[in-house]
Structure 1
Amino acid sequence: MENETKWPERISYGLSDAADNLVFQVMTTYLLFFYTDVYGLKAGDVAVLFLIARIADVFESPVVGWMIDKTHSRFGKSRPFFLWYSLPYAVFAVLTFVTPDFSPAGKLAWAYVTYLGLGFLYTAVNLPITSVLPTMSRNQRELTLLGVIRQFGGSAIQIVVAVFTLPLVATLGGHNQQKGFLLTMILFAAISLFLILNTFFHIRERHTVAEIAHRPFKVVLNLAAHNKPWIILSLIIFCFWLVTAIKNQTTVYYFKYVFNDQGLVAWANSFTFSSLIGVVLIMKVTDHVGNKRTMRTGMLIALIGQIFLMFGVISKTLITIFAGILINSIGQGMIVGLVSIMLSDTIRYGISLGAQAEGFLSSSNDFGVNLGLGIGGLVTAGLFDLAGYVPNHAQNSSTISMINLNYVWIPLALYVLLIILIHFYPEEKMYAQIKSVEN
């Protein structure tokens, strides 16, 4: 089948994930730290906030997916969301890092309003990136290429944010971290807004089956329950982001309180550049073994990297820890790079079952991301609070143990669970069904 997208459209599509990650990765990696050590909220209060936000996400992701599936527009079903929600997203990204001089209760209320608002708006601009993919082409190789370009852009920005956020905060704010975080987010939000609008103007939706494009929600829900590949992939997405949240949010605490050197955070995060290697490998490996085996390979590599990190933590050897981060990130890149590609397959499989519900089926990605991040934040903040964590002070032995638990042992168990889940993904049966309908 002839390729339908050209390089300007491919790059614009890839930049959409880069745009979202400018804000999203700050939330993932530094928001817990910002709330506790910069804004002055209690770790227990933040844990409850993250839990409530994730409960909200239980409803937000399928609601936004349903909104996409019900959209009738000359721009298509997914594209208009980039136009409608990009500016509010950028505004709330900035507001989340504003630190008004309120009472403790007022500060917490501000955090609730801004963080919950940002969570909904993130879903509104991020979910369409996944839902639009299967409508851009029916060429499997082209869909894989688009997915890889998207993840390459997202992973590259993830590394930029991980490595340069704290130095930018220090440069822009000096000794005032509140000012530094705010100015950094203003910069990131402005770039994000420009890139999201660029995506809207340059991509196109080409493949919509009009007869089944707007099925009733009850029908969609019933067919989704019979979409086994989608169900298993949804569980994988949740577990992946759970382990990612727990590790990322603990990194700054680990180096600040175990090695007593927060400056090592930027060095540690710099080794995540290897996730780009994993993303690039997808095109080559999938040619030989397919998506399922490629994702399983990524999970095994991530597990091996986590084992290296474990030995580094036990021996307190930086070079071993950094080697573990590098190896683990290669696997992480392969896993996350395949998610949107494999979700597009489950959407096409859904069409073969009788409903083109790219909005609702794609919502499992944002649902899994948000739920995984939220529960990860809840686990991290909750365990720290139980252990007696006190911001900006030397930590007791219980807190240090909790930091090690979050940084090493919980992720190790979750990688094993991911390998078990991918075993049950019915790739061959799914492709046979898709080909019988599309050919």
Structure 2
Amino acid sequence: MGFSKTRQRLGFGAADMASNLIWPMITAYLTVYYTDALLLDAAAVSFITLASKVIDAITDVLMGIVVDKTKFKSGKCRPYFIIGAVPLALSAVLTFLVPSLVSNEKVMIIAIAFITFNLLSTFYTVVNTPLSAILPSLSSDARERNVLVTFRMVMAAMGSFIVTFFGPVLINAFGGKKDKFSYAWTIGIFGIAAILLLVFSFMNTREVVKPIKQDKVKFKDGIKAVNGQYILFIVTMFIYLIGFAVKQAGVVYYYERYIVTAGGFDHDQLISIQALATSVSMVLGQLTIPFFCRLMGKKKSSIMMNVIALIGNVIFIFCGPNLPLLIIGTVVVWFPLGYLMGMRFSLLADVVEYSELKSGIRAAGILSSLDSFLAKLAFGFNVVFITGLMQLGGYNAKLEVQSDTTKMFIQIGFVGIPIVCIIVTIILFMFFKFDKELPKLKEKYAKENK
């Protein structure tokens, strides 16, 4: 009906670009906002993020059930891009604004921060569970799914780059990192752009693939679709995302408190240089997904990219304030991580289809919600790891120059934890089987349903 693949690809990518105008502000700056602007200690920050995961466990699964039961004329997933757009942007602003309006009573600040952060997490779930679940409905062709994922991740990287590059500029323009309101003004600007992108996504995507079973899926039936390969997949992605998230959360602390200056640039300029190198590397990595999938397959190419990311992290152990080595290390880390972030969603679509064909039940919403919950749990642990390590190292937000012990613990978080997570991820990838079994199951299903 004149609905082009390019339009579908751009629409799909726009939704994740919108999310990445919001969530990178959370991963990169929420901890800084809590510790440096609100002056909360590591224990309080850890409580806010970890306790929130209890609520996440409920909202993610509930949203998965809602998606599987949805029968809007416009689709099962697309409508939530419109439903969640304004609440997502508004709750992001409230997360960085309302705690700043409270008096200096620490208990009240923690309580308000907990409430607003959970409000944001809930509306993020409203948008992103359907976004994760929609891919199998956009195309049944494996190559087109890879292209769709590439568009999604390239546009997501563009969103992350905008936040990482322009975030410090806007925050400084609105009063600096220690100003309680600079973060709210900044994310307010990003939030408006996110709303427009989600509307664009709704208008430019279509759910064309119908599930095997059209009946509404009950939660107990959806759980029956879970199998060993699905569990292996979400555990592997959980470990990988912990390493990814901890490194992302440690960027500001690493350059501000550990490196400080390099090559004649101060820490704010270094963060901007790092943002540019990271975003370009991730985009280039994501653009290679179709090529390496055809050349090596998803499993082998993912293992190879993990090995490259491991080498990149090792470079950071030895580079110190050497600008060329910092840039090289950034490129060697984030090129493969960009590839792997895109591959995660392509593999999720495959393991959902694999689970469907094995069980006869399409429960994309429930299966995607479990993956989404573990992803957000990983991005909760990143705060615990970073703040916990800095507390062990004696981090003091009021000091411009940190002790050598503090710097060592920042380095452990920025480099050590990602290295351990990558090694475990490589080992787990070796046990993936669904990539080989899926084509056989699809062929069998096609023969049985001629």
TM-score band, normalised by shorter chain: over 0.9
Partner Cα distance (1:321, 1:55) in 2: 38
Within a 5 Å distance, the mapping from 1:373-388 to structure 2 comes to 373-388=379-394
Question: Do the aligned residues in 2 keep the contact of 1:229 with 1:430 (CA within 8 Å)?
Answer: no
Q: Tell me by how many angstroms 1:5 deviates.
A: 5.0
The corresponding residue for 2:421 is: 414
Partner Cα distance (2:117, 2:442) in 1: 40
Partner of 1:73: helix, strand, or coil?
A: coil
Within a 5 Å distance, the mapping from 1:199-214 to structure 2 comes to 199-209=201-211, 211=213, 213-214=215-216
The corresponding residue for 2:87 is: 88
Query: Aligned partner of 2:352: which letter?
Result: I
Q: Aligned residue pairs: how many?
A: 433
Question: Do the aligned residues in 2 keep the contact of 1:14 with 1:146 (CA within 8 Å)?
Answer: yes
Question: Do the aligned residues in 1 keep the contact of 2:33 with 2:177 (CA within 8 Å)?
Answer: no
The corresponding residue for 2:147 is: 145
The corresponding residue for 2:341 is: 336
Q: Tell me by how many angstroms 1:50 deviates.
A: 1.1
- Of 46-55 and 201-210, the range deviating more from structure 2: 201-210
Counterpart pick for 1:326 among 327, 331, 341: 331
The corresponding residue for 1:168 is: 170
The corresponding residue for 2:296 is: 289
- Of 201-210 and 131-140, the range deviating more from structure 2: 201-210
- Of 176-185 and 151-160, the range deviating more from structure 2: 176-185
Partner Cα distance (2:417, 2:34) in 1: 23
Partner Cα distance (1:198, 1:436) in 2: 38
Q: Tell me by how many angstroms 1:4 deviates.
A: 7.8
**Cα deviations by residue, 1:277-318 (Å, 9 ceiling, x for unpaired):** 1000111111122211222222122111111112214xx433
Tell me the percent identity: 27
Q: Does 1:6 align with 2:5?
A: yes
Partner Cα distance (1:4, 1:183) in 2: 38
Counterpart pick for 1:400 among 407, 422, 436: 407
Query: Aligned partner of 1:432: which letter?
Result: K
Within a 5 Å distance, the mapping from 1:34-433 to structure 2 comes to 34-98=33-97, 99-102=100-103, 103-173=105-175, 177-209=179-211, 211=213, 213-224=215-226, 226=227, 228-260=228-260, 261-263=266-268, 264-272=270-278, 273-313=280-320, 316-352=321-357, 353-393=359-399, 394-426=401-433, 427-433=435-441
Partner Cα distance (1:175, 1:22) in 2: 19
Partner Cα distance (1:211, 1:429) in 2: 21
Partner Cα distance (1:275, 1:337) in 2: 9
The corresponding residue for 2:263 is: none
CA separation of 1:292 and 1:175: change in aligned 2, threshold 3 A: closer
Partner Cα distance (1:210, 1:415) in 2: 36
Please list every run of at least 4 consecutive aligned residues from structure 1 whose deviation after the TM superposition is greater than 6 angstroms.
none
Query: Aligned partner of 2:39: which letter?
Result: G
Partner Cα distance (1:435, 1:197) in 2: 37
Question: Do the aligned residues in 1 keep the contact of 2:153 with 2:342 (CA within 8 Å)?
Answer: yes
In structure 2, list runs of 5 or more residues that go unmatched. 261-265
Partner Cα distance (2:65, 2:446) in 1: 25
Q: Tell me by how many angstroms 1:61 deviates.
A: 1.8
Question: Do the aligned residues in 2 keep the contact of 1:212 with 1:355 (CA within 8 Å)?
Answer: no
Alignment root-mean-square deviation, CA: 1.9
CA separation of 1:438 and 1:100: change in aligned 2, threshold 3 A: farther
Question: Do the aligned residues in 1 keep the contact of 2:390 with 2:406 (CA within 8 Å)?
Answer: yes
CA separation of 1:210 and 1:282: change in aligned 2, threshold 3 A: closer
Q: Tell me by how many angstroms 1:152 deviates.
A: 0.7
Partner Cα distance (1:319, 1:119) in 2: 38
**Cα deviations by residue, 1:168-207 (Å, 9 ceiling, x for unpaired):** 2112436873332221111100110111121112211122
Question: Do the aligned residues in 2 keep the contact of 1:254 with 1:404 (CA within 8 Å)?
Answer: yes
In structure 1, list runs of 5 or more residues that go unmatched. none
- Of 165-174 and 409-418, the range deviating more from structure 2: 165-174
Partner Cα distance (2:4, 2:299) in 1: 25
Query: Aligned partner of 1:157: which letter?
Result: G
Q: Tell me by how many angstroms 1:236 deviates.
A: 2.2
